[in-house]
Amino acid sequence: MGVNMPIIETLGPQARYAMPAPQARRAPSRFPILPMPVLEWNPDVERETAHLYERIKNVVPSVEWPFFAPYVSAINRLKKERNAVILAHNYQTPEIFHCVADVVGDSLQLAREAAKVKADVIVQCGVHFMAETAKILNPDKVVLIPDMKAGCSLAESITGEDVRLLRERFPGVPVVTYVNTSAEVKAESDICCTSGNAVQVVESLGVDKVIFLPDQYLASYVASQSKVKIIAWKGSCEVHERFTGDELRRLRESDPSVQIIAHPECPPDVIAASDYTGSTSGMISYVREHQPKRVVLVTECSMADNVSAELPNVEFVRPCNLCPHMKRITLPKILDSLVYMQEEVWVDPAIAAKARRAVERMVNLKS
Protein backbone atom coordinates (compact mmCIF):
# COMPACT_ATOMS: atom_id res chain seq x y z
CA MET A 1 0.00 0.00 0.00
CA GLY A 2 1.43 3.39 -1.00
CA VAL A 3 1.31 6.63 0.95
CA ASN A 4 -2.25 7.97 1.01
CA MET A 5 -2.19 11.15 -1.11
CA PRO A 6 -5.26 13.26 -1.71
CA ILE A 7 -6.57 14.09 -5.14
CA ILE A 8 -5.59 17.71 -5.65
CA GLU A 9 -8.54 18.69 -7.83
CA THR A 10 -11.57 17.06 -9.43
CA LEU A 11 -13.13 18.76 -12.42
CA GLY A 12 -15.86 18.15 -14.94
CA PRO A 13 -19.53 17.31 -15.17
CA GLN A 14 -21.21 14.26 -13.70
CA ALA A 15 -21.52 11.40 -16.14
CA ARG A 16 -24.62 11.79 -18.26
CA TYR A 17 -25.40 8.12 -18.81
CA ALA A 18 -26.90 8.52 -22.24
CA MET A 19 -24.63 7.38 -25.01
CA PRO A 20 -25.73 8.83 -28.34
CA ALA A 21 -25.66 6.04 -30.89
CA PRO A 22 -22.61 6.51 -33.12
CA GLN A 23 -23.29 6.47 -36.86
CA ALA A 24 -23.82 2.95 -38.17
CA ARG A 25 -21.99 2.13 -41.39
CA ARG A 26 -23.05 -0.16 -44.16
CA ALA A 27 -21.54 -3.63 -44.40
CA PRO A 28 -18.30 -3.64 -46.41
CA SER A 29 -19.12 -4.76 -49.95
CA ARG A 30 -16.29 -7.33 -50.10
CA PHE A 31 -18.27 -9.40 -47.59
CA PRO A 32 -21.53 -10.68 -49.10
CA ILE A 33 -24.55 -11.11 -46.87
CA LEU A 34 -24.91 -14.81 -46.03
CA PRO A 35 -28.15 -16.78 -45.75
CA MET A 36 -29.58 -16.76 -42.21
CA PRO A 37 -28.95 -20.27 -40.78
CA VAL A 38 -31.92 -22.40 -39.79
CA LEU A 39 -32.17 -22.21 -36.00
CA GLU A 40 -33.55 -25.44 -34.70
CA TRP A 41 -33.01 -27.54 -31.59
CA ASN A 42 -32.49 -31.09 -32.85
CA PRO A 43 -30.35 -34.12 -31.92
CA ASP A 44 -27.45 -32.97 -34.14
CA VAL A 45 -27.32 -29.55 -32.48
CA GLU A 46 -27.66 -31.15 -29.06
CA ARG A 47 -24.72 -33.50 -29.78
CA GLU A 48 -22.55 -30.84 -31.38
CA THR A 49 -22.97 -28.38 -28.48
CA ALA A 50 -23.00 -30.83 -25.55
CA HIS A 51 -19.36 -30.07 -24.60
CA LEU A 52 -20.17 -26.34 -24.51
CA TYR A 53 -23.21 -26.82 -22.29
CA GLU A 54 -20.96 -28.79 -19.90
CA ARG A 55 -19.03 -25.54 -19.27
CA ILE A 56 -22.06 -23.56 -18.16
CA LYS A 57 -24.40 -26.17 -16.76
CA ASN A 58 -23.93 -24.78 -13.22
CA VAL A 59 -25.22 -21.36 -14.18
CA VAL A 60 -27.56 -21.88 -17.16
CA PRO A 61 -30.62 -24.09 -16.49
CA SER A 62 -31.00 -27.01 -18.92
CA VAL A 63 -34.42 -25.71 -19.91
CA GLU A 64 -32.74 -22.63 -21.46
CA TRP A 65 -30.12 -24.49 -23.49
CA PRO A 66 -32.46 -25.51 -26.38
CA PHE A 67 -32.92 -21.77 -27.02
CA PHE A 68 -29.19 -20.90 -26.88
CA ALA A 69 -27.70 -23.99 -28.57
CA PRO A 70 -28.93 -23.36 -32.18
CA TYR A 71 -27.43 -19.84 -32.01
CA VAL A 72 -24.17 -21.12 -30.52
CA SER A 73 -23.87 -23.73 -33.25
CA ALA A 74 -24.68 -21.26 -36.07
CA ILE A 75 -22.33 -18.56 -34.72
CA ASN A 76 -19.41 -20.98 -34.36
CA ARG A 77 -19.90 -22.16 -37.96
CA LEU A 78 -20.21 -18.63 -39.36
CA LYS A 79 -17.09 -17.50 -37.50
CA LYS A 80 -15.04 -19.98 -39.56
CA GLU A 81 -16.76 -18.98 -42.79
CA ARG A 82 -16.04 -15.28 -42.16
CA ASN A 83 -12.54 -15.88 -40.74
CA ALA A 84 -13.76 -13.95 -37.71
CA VAL A 85 -12.79 -13.93 -34.04
CA ILE A 86 -15.05 -13.01 -31.17
CA LEU A 87 -13.60 -10.98 -28.31
CA ALA A 88 -15.79 -11.02 -25.18
CA HIS A 89 -15.46 -8.95 -22.05
CA ASN A 90 -15.73 -10.55 -18.60
CA TYR A 91 -19.18 -8.92 -18.19
CA GLN A 92 -20.75 -10.84 -21.08
CA THR A 93 -23.30 -13.52 -20.21
CA PRO A 94 -22.06 -17.14 -19.81
CA GLU A 95 -23.50 -18.46 -23.10
CA ILE A 96 -21.46 -15.80 -24.94
CA PHE A 97 -18.40 -15.86 -22.67
CA HIS A 98 -17.99 -19.65 -22.52
CA CYS A 99 -19.63 -20.87 -25.75
CA VAL A 100 -18.83 -18.55 -28.69
CA ALA A 101 -15.93 -16.29 -27.58
CA ASP A 102 -12.38 -16.95 -28.84
CA VAL A 103 -10.74 -14.46 -26.49
CA VAL A 104 -12.12 -13.39 -23.11
CA GLY A 105 -10.81 -10.95 -20.54
CA ASP A 106 -10.77 -7.44 -19.20
CA SER A 107 -10.17 -4.34 -21.32
CA LEU A 108 -6.39 -4.71 -21.15
CA GLN A 109 -6.41 -8.38 -22.17
CA LEU A 110 -8.84 -7.66 -25.00
CA ALA A 111 -6.73 -4.71 -26.19
CA ARG A 112 -3.57 -6.85 -26.13
CA GLU A 113 -5.24 -9.72 -27.96
CA ALA A 114 -6.88 -7.34 -30.44
CA ALA A 115 -3.37 -6.20 -31.39
CA LYS A 116 -2.35 -9.79 -32.22
CA VAL A 117 -5.49 -11.01 -33.95
CA LYS A 118 -5.04 -12.94 -37.19
CA ALA A 119 -8.47 -12.79 -38.80
CA ASP A 120 -10.32 -10.68 -41.34
CA VAL A 121 -13.11 -9.76 -38.96
CA ILE A 122 -13.27 -8.97 -35.23
CA VAL A 123 -16.64 -9.15 -33.48
CA GLN A 124 -16.41 -7.20 -30.23
CA CYS A 125 -18.81 -8.47 -27.58
CA GLY A 126 -18.47 -5.59 -25.19
CA VAL A 127 -19.21 -1.88 -25.43
CA HIS A 128 -18.45 0.67 -28.12
CA PHE A 129 -15.18 2.05 -26.72
CA MET A 130 -13.78 -1.51 -26.68
CA ALA A 131 -14.72 -1.99 -30.34
CA GLU A 132 -13.09 1.36 -31.15
CA THR A 133 -9.93 0.22 -29.35
CA ALA A 134 -9.91 -2.98 -31.43
CA LYS A 135 -10.30 -0.87 -34.61
CA ILE A 136 -7.56 1.57 -33.54
CA LEU A 137 -5.17 -1.38 -33.13
CA ASN A 138 -6.39 -3.13 -36.31
CA PRO A 139 -7.05 -0.38 -38.85
CA ASP A 140 -7.09 -2.85 -41.78
CA LYS A 141 -9.55 -5.28 -40.25
CA VAL A 142 -13.31 -5.07 -40.14
CA VAL A 143 -14.47 -4.58 -36.55
CA LEU A 144 -18.11 -5.26 -35.80
CA ILE A 145 -20.18 -4.60 -32.69
CA PRO A 146 -23.48 -6.47 -32.43
CA ASP A 147 -25.27 -3.42 -31.02
CA MET A 148 -24.00 0.06 -31.81
CA LYS A 149 -25.92 1.47 -28.82
CA ALA A 150 -23.75 -0.44 -26.31
CA GLY A 151 -22.22 2.65 -24.69
CA CYS A 152 -20.65 3.43 -21.32
CA SER A 153 -21.34 6.15 -18.74
CA LEU A 154 -17.62 6.73 -18.29
CA ALA A 155 -16.91 7.12 -22.00
CA GLU A 156 -19.86 9.50 -22.25
CA SER A 157 -18.65 11.72 -19.40
CA ILE A 158 -15.86 13.44 -21.34
CA THR A 159 -15.05 14.74 -24.83
CA GLY A 160 -11.85 15.55 -26.72
CA GLU A 161 -12.64 19.26 -26.25
CA ASP A 162 -12.73 18.74 -22.44
CA VAL A 163 -9.23 17.25 -22.58
CA ARG A 164 -7.92 20.14 -24.68
CA LEU A 165 -9.31 22.60 -22.10
CA LEU A 166 -7.68 20.67 -19.26
CA ARG A 167 -4.34 20.82 -21.06
CA GLU A 168 -4.70 24.59 -21.36
CA ARG A 169 -5.47 24.86 -17.67
CA PHE A 170 -2.61 22.57 -16.57
CA PRO A 171 0.11 23.11 -19.18
CA GLY A 172 2.80 20.43 -19.26
CA VAL A 173 0.90 17.99 -17.01
CA PRO A 174 0.62 14.61 -18.78
CA VAL A 175 -2.82 13.12 -19.43
CA VAL A 176 -3.44 9.50 -18.43
CA THR A 177 -6.73 8.22 -19.81
CA TYR A 178 -8.63 5.13 -18.79
CA VAL A 179 -9.46 2.98 -21.82
CA ASN A 180 -13.16 3.50 -21.07
CA THR A 181 -13.19 6.59 -23.32
CA SER A 182 -13.89 7.44 -26.95
CA ALA A 183 -11.17 7.35 -29.61
CA GLU A 184 -11.35 11.15 -29.72
CA VAL A 185 -10.45 11.38 -26.00
CA LYS A 186 -7.67 8.80 -26.34
CA ALA A 187 -6.27 10.84 -29.24
CA GLU A 188 -5.85 13.83 -26.91
CA SER A 189 -4.06 11.74 -24.26
CA ASP A 190 -0.42 10.89 -23.59
CA ILE A 191 -1.06 7.32 -22.51
CA CYS A 192 -4.00 5.03 -21.75
CA CYS A 193 -4.46 2.74 -18.77
CA THR A 194 -6.89 0.12 -17.53
CA SER A 195 -8.03 -0.61 -14.00
CA GLY A 196 -5.42 -3.39 -13.96
CA ASN A 197 -2.41 -1.21 -14.72
CA ALA A 198 -3.48 2.35 -13.75
CA VAL A 199 -0.96 2.72 -10.88
CA GLN A 200 1.87 1.29 -12.99
CA VAL A 201 1.03 3.61 -15.91
CA VAL A 202 0.87 6.73 -13.70
CA GLU A 203 4.20 5.86 -12.08
CA SER A 204 5.84 4.97 -15.41
CA LEU A 205 5.76 8.65 -16.44
CA GLY A 206 8.29 9.74 -13.81
CA VAL A 207 6.39 12.95 -12.95
CA ASP A 208 4.92 14.21 -9.67
CA LYS A 209 1.50 15.17 -11.08
CA VAL A 210 -0.86 13.77 -13.75
CA ILE A 211 -4.31 14.53 -15.12
CA PHE A 212 -6.20 11.24 -14.71
CA LEU A 213 -9.40 10.78 -16.74
CA PRO A 214 -12.31 10.20 -16.54
CA ASP A 215 -13.18 7.96 -13.54
CA GLN A 216 -13.12 9.86 -10.24
CA TYR A 217 -13.18 6.63 -8.21
CA LEU A 218 -10.37 4.93 -10.11
CA ALA A 219 -8.48 8.22 -9.66
CA SER A 220 -9.06 8.02 -5.87
CA TYR A 221 -7.83 4.46 -5.85
CA VAL A 222 -4.67 5.38 -7.79
CA ALA A 223 -4.10 8.34 -5.43
CA SER A 224 -4.31 5.95 -2.47
CA GLN A 225 -1.64 3.69 -4.00
CA SER A 226 0.89 6.19 -5.33
CA LYS A 227 2.80 9.35 -4.39
CA VAL A 228 1.93 10.94 -7.74
CA LYS A 229 -0.61 13.77 -7.32
CA ILE A 230 -3.78 13.41 -9.30
CA ILE A 231 -6.01 15.92 -11.06
CA ALA A 232 -9.23 13.97 -11.60
CA TRP A 233 -12.44 14.19 -13.63
CA LYS A 234 -15.96 13.62 -12.28
CA GLY A 235 -16.87 10.65 -14.45
CA SER A 236 -18.15 7.43 -12.91
CA CYS A 237 -19.39 4.00 -13.85
CA GLU A 238 -23.14 3.79 -13.39
CA VAL A 239 -22.80 0.14 -12.31
CA HIS A 240 -19.99 0.37 -9.74
CA GLU A 241 -21.06 3.68 -8.17
CA ARG A 242 -24.29 2.01 -6.97
CA PHE A 243 -22.48 -0.25 -4.48
CA THR A 244 -22.20 1.07 -0.94
CA GLY A 245 -19.88 0.39 1.97
CA ASP A 246 -22.98 -0.14 4.18
CA GLU A 247 -24.28 -3.01 2.10
CA LEU A 248 -20.87 -4.72 2.23
CA ARG A 249 -20.55 -4.19 5.99
CA ARG A 250 -23.99 -5.80 6.43
CA LEU A 251 -22.87 -8.78 4.31
CA ARG A 252 -19.77 -9.17 6.45
CA GLU A 253 -21.76 -8.93 9.69
CA SER A 254 -24.00 -11.76 8.50
CA ASP A 255 -20.94 -13.91 7.62
CA PRO A 256 -17.55 -12.72 8.96
CA SER A 257 -15.72 -15.35 6.88
CA VAL A 258 -16.97 -14.02 3.53
CA GLN A 259 -14.30 -12.59 1.18
CA ILE A 260 -15.20 -9.25 -0.42
CA ILE A 261 -13.44 -8.35 -3.66
CA ALA A 262 -14.08 -4.99 -5.31
CA HIS A 263 -13.37 -3.31 -8.62
CA PRO A 264 -11.51 0.04 -8.34
CA GLU A 265 -14.35 1.84 -10.17
CA CYS A 266 -16.27 1.53 -6.85
CA PRO A 267 -16.51 4.47 -4.41
CA PRO A 268 -13.80 4.68 -1.71
CA ASP A 269 -16.03 3.42 1.16
CA VAL A 270 -16.68 0.24 -0.87
CA ILE A 271 -12.94 -0.25 -1.46
CA ALA A 272 -12.33 0.33 2.27
CA ALA A 273 -14.85 -2.39 3.16
CA SER A 274 -13.19 -4.94 0.82
CA ASP A 275 -10.46 -7.54 1.28
CA TYR A 276 -8.98 -7.08 -2.19
CA THR A 277 -9.27 -4.51 -4.99
CA GLY A 278 -8.36 -5.24 -8.59
CA SER A 279 -9.38 -5.27 -12.23
CA THR A 280 -11.83 -7.92 -13.37
CA SER A 281 -8.97 -10.24 -14.34
CA GLY A 282 -7.25 -9.49 -11.02
CA MET A 283 -10.48 -10.41 -9.23
CA ILE A 284 -10.79 -13.66 -11.19
CA SER A 285 -7.16 -14.60 -10.45
CA TYR A 286 -7.74 -13.85 -6.76
CA VAL A 287 -10.74 -16.20 -6.61
CA ARG A 288 -8.95 -18.93 -8.61
CA GLU A 289 -5.93 -18.73 -6.33
CA HIS A 290 -7.66 -18.43 -2.96
CA GLN A 291 -10.82 -20.48 -3.71
CA PRO A 292 -12.69 -18.88 -0.77
CA LYS A 293 -15.75 -20.73 0.52
CA ARG A 294 -17.99 -17.66 0.03
CA VAL A 295 -17.10 -14.60 -1.98
CA VAL A 296 -18.70 -11.32 -3.01
CA LEU A 297 -17.53 -9.96 -6.38
CA VAL A 298 -18.35 -6.26 -6.18
CA THR A 299 -18.66 -5.67 -9.90
CA GLU A 300 -21.01 -6.35 -12.80
CA CYS A 301 -23.22 -9.35 -12.11
CA SER A 302 -22.39 -11.62 -15.06
CA MET A 303 -18.79 -11.96 -13.98
CA ALA A 304 -19.84 -14.01 -10.95
CA ASP A 305 -21.76 -16.35 -13.30
CA ASN A 306 -18.74 -16.73 -15.59
CA VAL A 307 -16.33 -17.53 -12.75
CA SER A 308 -18.83 -19.68 -10.92
CA ALA A 309 -19.27 -21.84 -14.06
CA GLU A 310 -15.57 -22.66 -13.68
CA LEU A 311 -15.42 -22.90 -9.86
CA PRO A 312 -18.56 -24.71 -8.67
CA ASN A 313 -17.13 -25.17 -5.15
CA VAL A 314 -17.02 -21.44 -4.46
CA GLU A 315 -20.28 -19.86 -3.33
CA PHE A 316 -20.86 -16.46 -4.92
CA VAL A 317 -22.94 -13.93 -2.98
CA ARG A 318 -24.45 -11.63 -5.58
CA PRO A 319 -25.22 -8.01 -4.76
CA CYS A 320 -26.33 -7.81 -8.38
CA ASN A 321 -25.78 -4.70 -10.52
CA LEU A 322 -26.05 -5.29 -14.26
CA CYS A 323 -24.51 -3.07 -16.94
CA PRO A 324 -27.38 -2.27 -19.33
CA HIS A 325 -24.87 -1.52 -22.11
CA MET A 326 -23.05 -4.85 -21.86
CA LYS A 327 -26.41 -6.61 -21.78
CA ARG A 328 -27.31 -5.20 -25.20
CA ILE A 329 -25.05 -7.88 -26.67
CA THR A 330 -26.97 -11.14 -27.19
CA LEU A 331 -26.53 -14.33 -29.22
CA PRO A 332 -29.19 -13.30 -31.81
CA LYS A 333 -27.40 -9.96 -32.35
CA ILE A 334 -24.00 -11.69 -32.69
CA LEU A 335 -25.50 -13.97 -35.32
CA ASP A 336 -26.94 -10.97 -37.19
CA SER A 337 -23.49 -9.35 -37.08
CA LEU A 338 -21.89 -12.31 -38.81
CA VAL A 339 -24.68 -12.81 -41.36
CA TYR A 340 -25.08 -9.15 -42.35
CA MET A 341 -21.58 -7.88 -41.39
CA GLN A 342 -23.03 -5.22 -39.12
CA GLU A 343 -22.52 -2.90 -37.31
CA GLU A 344 -19.13 -1.85 -38.57
CA VAL A 345 -17.10 0.36 -36.22
CA TRP A 346 -15.24 3.14 -37.94
CA VAL A 347 -12.69 5.59 -36.50
CA ASP A 348 -11.42 8.62 -38.41
CA PRO A 349 -7.88 7.58 -39.52
CA ALA A 350 -6.27 10.81 -38.22
CA ILE A 351 -7.89 10.35 -34.78
CA ALA A 352 -7.07 6.63 -34.83
CA ALA A 353 -3.37 7.33 -35.49
CA LYS A 354 -3.14 9.66 -32.46
CA ALA A 355 -5.21 7.36 -30.24
CA ARG A 356 -3.07 4.37 -31.30
CA ARG A 357 0.03 6.05 -29.88
CA ALA A 358 -1.64 6.36 -26.45
CA VAL A 359 -2.99 2.79 -26.48
CA GLU A 360 0.24 1.24 -27.79
CA ARG A 361 2.28 3.10 -25.21
CA MET A 362 0.18 1.31 -22.57
CA VAL A 363 0.18 -2.09 -24.31
CA ASN A 364 3.97 -1.95 -24.67
CA LEU A 365 4.60 -1.16 -21.00
CA LYS A 366 6.42 -4.08 -19.40
CA SER A 367 4.09 -5.75 -16.89
**Residues in contact with ligand SF4 by the rule CB under 6 A:** 127, 152-154, 180, 237-239, 300, 323, 325-326
Nearest CB to ligand SF4, comparing residues 74 and 359 = 359
Whichever of 236 and 342 has its CB closer to ligand SF4, that residue is: 236
d(CA 212, CA 265): 13
**Which one-letter amino acid corresponds to residue 129?**
F
Q: Please report how close the Cβ of residue 129 comes to ligand SF4 at its closest, in angstroms.
A: 8
Peptide bond into 343 cis (omega under 30): yes
Nearer CB in complex with ligand SF4: 19/99: 19
Sheet architecture: strand order including 191-193: 7-11, 229-233, 209-213, 175-178, 191-193
Residue closer to ligand SF4 (CB basis): 191 or 239: 239
Angle of the 349-363 helix axis to the 107-116 helix axis, nearest 10:
110
The CB-of-343 to ligand SF4 minimum distance in angstroms stands at 17
Q: Could you tell me whether strands 191-193 and 175-178 are parallel, antiparallel, or unpaired per DSSP bridges?
A: parallel
Q: Determine the Cα–Cα distance for residues 325 and 151; give it in Å rounded to an integer.
A: 6
Question: Residue 261 CB, nearest distance to ligand SF4 (Å)?
Answer: 16
CB nearer ligand SF4, residue 131 or residue 258: 131
Q: Minimum distance between the CB of residue 325 and ligand SF4, rounded to whole angstroms?
A: 5
Distance in Å from the first CA to the final CA of the chain? 18
**Closest separation in Å from C-beta 359 to ligand SF4:** 17
Q: What torsion, rounded to 10 degrees, do the Cα atoms 235, 273, 316, 103 define? A: 40
- Of the pair 74, 152, the CB lying nearest ligand SF4 is at 152
Q: Are 315 and 296 in contact (CB under 8 A)?
A: no
Q: State in angstroms the smallest separation of the CB of 85 from ligand SF4.
A: 21
